[in-house]
Chain A
Amino acid sequence: MHAELALLNNCLVVGAVLFGLGLVGFLSRRNMLIMFLSAEMMLQGASLSFAAWGRFHNDFGGQTLVLFIIAVAAAEAAIALALVLTLFALRGRLDIAAWHDLREAHLPPPLIDEEGEQVEAAPPRPRPRLSPAGLPPPLPPDMEHRLRL
C-alpha cells in the first residue's frame, strides 16, 4: 500500500476508535461533566479524520474545517458547562439520572441499579480546630447541599 494511503487509513481508524470511545462514554456514563467530556472526544476523532483527508487531498480544506470545529467546541464548552452548573444547582447532583422525570409518562421506569442510589458516604475528615472568632454567616436555604463541601 502506498505510504500516503496507509497514513490516511491509519488516521481514519484511529479517528473512528476515538469517536467510538467518546460514544460509549456519552451513552453510559452518568456524570454530566463526563458526558460533556466524551462529546469533546468524539469531536477529536472527527478532527483527526478531517486533517487526514486534507493531507491526502493535499489542500487546506480539511485543516480549515478542524479550525472551525475547535471554535465550535469552545462555544459548546461555554454553553454546556453553564447548563451543567444550572442543572447541578437545581437538583444538587451531577447525575443525569436525576432528570429522568423528563421522560414520557408511558415509558417504563428507568433502568437504575437499586444499590446505585445508596451513596457511599466517606468518613468525615478531621477538620483543623481553630479558636472561634466571629459568627458563622447564615447560609441561604438553597445552598444546603453545599454544606458538606
Chain B
Amino acid sequence: MPRRSNISKKTQTALLALLERPQDWCYGYELMERTWIASGTLYPMLIRLCDQGHLEARWVASPHEGRPPRHAYRLTPAGLSLARAIDTDDLPHTSPGKGFAL
C-alpha cells in the first residue's frame, strides 16, 4: 500500500498551483484566486511551507505606479519534489464561492 502524504489537501492544492508555473513568482491574491483557498488559511500555510524550506518568498516591485511592492512566492527544489510527489487523484476539485476569510 502506498504511503499517504501527511500534508493537508489544501496545502497539496496550493503546491500544485505553484507547480503549474514553477519558474514564476506568484502573489498571495493570485494563489487565492487559483486555488480558492481563503487568506486566513492560505497565509499560515505559506508561512509553514517557507519555514520547512519548500517555498521561497521575496518582495517584488509593483509594475503599477504608486502601488506598494508585493510579496511573491515560488517553490524551492525541495518544494518542487514535494509537489511532484502529490497524487492528484486524491484531491477534491476546487470551486469558487467559499469566501475569502477561512
Say if A and B assemble together. no
Which residue numbers of B lie inside 8 Å of A, CB to CB? Answer: none
